[in-house]
Structure 1
Amino acid sequence: MIVEILLVLGGLALLVLGGDLLVRGAVNLALKLGMTPLVVGLTVVAFGTSAPELLVSLSAALKGSSGIAMGNVVGSNIANVLVILGITSLVSVIVTKGHDLRESWAMMIGASLLLIAIAFTGEIGRLEGLILLAALALVLWRQLTTGKAEAPELEGVTPGAGWGKIIIWLVIGLTALPIGATLLVNGATEIARAFGISETVIGLTLVAIGTSLPELAASVASALRGRADMALGNVVGSNIFNILGILGITALIAPLPIPPEMMRLDLWVMLGASLLMAPFLFRGLSLTRPVGAAFLAAYGVYAWILL
């Protein structure tokens, strides 16, 4: 069991390191190639921060562990709202006024409902994967054509970064991510078997929290710099890409059966957690520390039910 735990911890460390360096390298490369910060923020950063989830889901699906692959995405979306926003709200109050994410939130809800509708068929096959990717293309087109002209603040920008640094960051990131994903999936699968816990539950909790660490680190860092509002955009964008991008790409390579237990609870918890954001985005309410504590308590109850 010690070996499996070390595999999980090593995998998580490589995912965090690889994700950070991949984003850093990709952002600086994109800016050097003349892409605008707006386009970089909506595409390169969004894809880069979700790279751990993508690699883990692909690795799990190819190994036949569809429970981990599905649980990773659904669990990450639940954790993004309840854990990431919860912890960030404890660090610094998240002010929603002046940050109109209502349309993006509606897209996130639409993606969640699309996933639930597909789940009723019992499997996310290649056709469903194409549908999810087509929806992602529409979301990106909408964001790119209606985005505000001003440049957003980007994580990972290093002024004057040379080609040597950029190449090193990309090589290390692209090497660490697949190795970390393989270690994490292998370790988590063995732990699940040893304790008699389903792979789906491991995916929904341990793996999901682990692959959400890059988003958590970015959100807390933003809060400490007085930009806690950035956590909202991180969560909404990540949740959209997790469903439409990660599940879409994974399903094209290896169709994903829907675990029956996920239809009974987890997909609805994911939708419910997303709906919890509505009062704050539509009424301009701030996410205060008591709200953050309530979010974390809600996740604790959910995890207790699972285990």
Structure 2
Amino acid sequence: MALDLTYLAAGLVLLFIGGEALVRGAVSIAARFGMPPLLIGLTIVGFGTSMPELLVSLKAAFDGAPDIAVGNVVGSNTANILLILGVAAVICPIPTAISGIRRDLAMVTLVAAFTLVLGYLGHVSRLMGAAMFVTLCAYLFYAAVYGKKEDAVEEEDEHAPVPMPLWMQLAYIAGGLAGLVLGADLLVRGATSIARGYGISEAVIGLTIVAVGTSLPELATSAIAAFRRHSEIAIGNVLGSNIFNIIGILGATAVFHPVAIAPSIASFDIPLMLGVTVLLALMLLGLKSINRLAGAAFLLLYMGYCGYLFTQMPGV
């Protein structure tokens, strides 16, 4: 058991460090080519910070633990909104007046609603996974073209770091990916062993410990972005991650290994994920900012959700 806890802790640390390195390198390269902040947050940062989820879900699917693979994706999306944005808003209220936000809110809501269909079907086939991944590529192309046409002038950050040389940017990306691969392997190995040893369902482990662990890069990125008053990065990071988690990660995982969706996840966790996504959309469209009170409410909701999951364990 001590070894399993060591695997779990080491995996979380490597995922955090690897995700941070990957994002630093990717954002630096994106900035080199003049990408706007919202587009960087939506694509490079959002998808870059989702690399832990991708590798963990792939590893879990191949290891015969589909509940961890699906729970990781669904749980991460819920955590991204309630936990990540909750923490970011408590640190600093997040303004919602962001150019292009309606486009991305529509996409993330449609993707969350589509997950209900997948839950009803009970599985994600290779063909469905391929279609999801193609949809992601099409959306990326559309977002890139649309982002370049946005007539918004971004202010320069007077505290921005000196751009890294290209070789260092590539080194950050390569080192980050290596840390993510090893971290994902250790995290899944430790989590599945602990779950089976204590009789905890793999779905609960995937929805909580693994989901939060793989969301650590998003937490760090959004918290720092909120502190530096870059609301576009904080919001774009969460929206991009949530889009990528479903049609990118779940889609890519299914292409390599068809994924079954547990009835418990389909009947409760997926509808909850859709509910908090709609709640976020309404807040971003109807409020001037997500203030500290709203952030605290998000955190309380997330703690209640995790508490409910653990009360459903046998013997509790």
Fold match, TM over 0.5?
Answer: yes
Moved over 6 A (4+): 151-155
Structure 1 distance, partners of 2:257, 2:240, is 24
CA contact (8 A) 2:104 2:239 kept: yes
Identify which of 279, 288, 292 aligns with 1:289.
Answer: 292
Stretches of structure 1 that go unaligned for 5 or more consecutive residues are none
1:242 aligns with 2:240: no
Q: Which residue of 2 aligns with 1:19?
A: 19
CA contact (8 A) 2:41 2:237 kept: no
**Change in CA separation of 1:193 and 1:153 when aligned onto 2, cut-off 3 Å:** farther
Alpha-carbon deviation of 1:171? 2.7
Moved more, 171-180 or 245-254: 171-180
- Summarize deviations over 1:266-302 as a string: whole Å, max 9, x none: 0001001101113322223421122111111111111
Structure 2 distance, partners of 1:273, 1:304, is 17
- Summarize deviations over 1:62-88 as a string: whole Å, max 9, x none: 111111110000000000010011111
**Change in CA separation of 1:170 and 1:232 when aligned onto 2, cut-off 3 Å:** closer
Q: Which residue of 2 aligns with 1:203?
A: 206
1:3 aligns with 2:6: no
SS of 2:94's equivalent in the other structure is coil
1:144 aligns with 2:147: no
Seq. identity, %: 44
Alpha-carbon deviation of 1:208? 0.4
1:81 aligns with 2:51: no
TM-score by length of 2: 0.89
TM-score by length of 1: 0.92
CA contact (8 A) 2:98 2:232 kept: no
**Change in CA separation of 1:158 and 1:289 when aligned onto 2, cut-off 3 Å:** closer
Structure 2 distance, partners of 1:73, 1:192, is 18
Alpha-carbon deviation of 1:202? 0.3
Q: Which residue of 2 aligns with 1:221?
A: 224
**Structure-to-structure mapping, 1:270-285, within 5 angstroms:** 270-285=273-288
Q: Which residue of 2 aligns with 1:104?
A: 104
Stretches of structure 2 that go unaligned for 5 or more consecutive residues are 311-316
**Change in CA separation of 1:25 and 1:226 when aligned onto 2, cut-off 3 Å:** closer
CA contact (8 A) 1:279 1:285 kept: no
Amino acid at match of 2:27: V
Alpha-carbon deviation of 1:231? 1.8
Aligned residues: 304
Structure 1 distance, partners of 2:298, 2:41, is 27
